[in-house]
Amino acid sequence: MSNANEKIGFVGLGMMGLPMVRNLLDDGYAVAVFDLDTTPIETAIQFGASAATSAADTAAQANIVITMVPDSEHVEGVIAGPDGILEGLEPGSVVIDMSTIDPEIGKKMSNFIEEKGSKFIDAPVTGGVAGAEAGTLSILVGGNAEVFERTLPVLNVLGGDVTHMGPVGSGHTTKIANQLIGVATLAGISEAFVLAKKSGLDMQTFFEAVKNGAGRSWALDTHGPTILAGDFAPGFMVKHMQKDLRLAGQLGAETGTALPTTTLIAQLYRSVQADGEDATSQGHQALVQAIEKLSNEQARL
């Protein structure tokens, strides 16, 4: 089968999924979409997608089915639950899970899909909504090398950096480890900003002085200005980072890995969560709010 003949099914049209669908459509792929929320389906139709009536119907219309949903239970539901992908999946198809979930659930779904005569790869992403919109996501892939090669043209539409990490589960594991790097960096930024503000430094001057130094990072470039502006609009929500830290804790327990920094940061996010349900829908840069509470100071311009 040539790549030109691939038809895409996409399940999960959240903040990440909807712009990813648009990029696939703009590249000329036929895309059938499904989500429990009808509003983004209507938007996707305006972009040129066709609407499916269920995850099973999405799979029946596609050779490659992509899932982009919040957590492990959601992936399990849309693949193996009632009206799930398994019910509509044609032999020879590929399911790509681009969610961030427990690697063991990915392996379990892969076994179910193999029994249907199809293939599975895990391909979680990093880069946030901005990366999804621009098609510049970093994509971390686990699965058979031949299946990876088949799906690479599709993945290259969605990401600027696509890496095959190894067998099924390797992508999910890589994403979990990646999150620890990002969130630890964000914790350091939060502490530095609050310390600078409480010590009387001019915050814009401080940011300009450090942004190109040894502490330079994507997190500082991206979240530094938003923290200083008090802008906590989500590119990646607090509740999703909390979920990823939970997955990291589980993986640490399974592998006997000490994660003391991760454990502390997870508790700091609990402090943010204590402000109410809406607090967890903020961008994950709201981690700074926990340090601000402890210090009785806001790191703002």
> Would 301 be classed as within a structural domain?
no
Domain hosting residue 239, numbered range: 174-295
SS3 (DSSP) at 119: strand
The pTM of this model reads 0.95
How remote is the C-alpha of 144 from its chain's centroid? Answer: 22
CATH code, domain carrying 143: 3.40.50.720
Averaged pLDDT score across all residues of the chain: 96
User: How far apart, in Å, do the first and last CA atoms of the chain sit?
Assistant: 56
Residues facing 36 on adjacent strands: none
pLDDT band at 50 (very low <50, low <70, confident <90, very high): very high
What is residue 5's predicted lDDT score, i.e. its pLDDT? 75
For residue 2, is pLDDT > 60? no
Q: Are residues 61 and 153 in the same domain?
A: yes
For residues 118-140, average pLDDT: 97
Q: What is the mean pLDDT of residues 119-123?
A: 98
Residues 195 and 123 in one domain: no
What pLDDT is attached to residue 83? 98
pLDDT (mean) for 204-232 = 96
Contacts of 183 (CB under 8 A, 6+ apart): 241, 244, 245, 262, 265, 284, 287
CATH number at 186 reads 1.10.1040.10
Does residue 205 share a domain with residue 185?
yes
The pLDDT of 67-80, averaged and rounded, is 97
Q: What is the pLDDT of residues 240-279, one digit of tens each?
A: 999 999 999 999 999 999 999 999 999 999 999 999 989 9
Quick one: pLDDT at residue 249?
A: 98
118 and 93 both lie in a single domain: yes
Predicted confidence at residue 4, as pLDDT, reads: 59
Backbone angles phi, psi at 6, to 5 degrees: -70, 130
Residue 282 identity (one-letter amino acid): Q
Active site residues: 175
Q: Verify that 161 and 219 share a domain, yes or no.
A: no
Say how many domains are in the chain: 2
CB of 99 closer than 8 Å to CB of 74: yes
pLDDT in tens, 89-108: 999 999 999 999 999 999 99
107 and 206 in one domain?
Answer: no
Distance separating alpha carbons of residues 27 and 16, to the nearest angstrom = 17
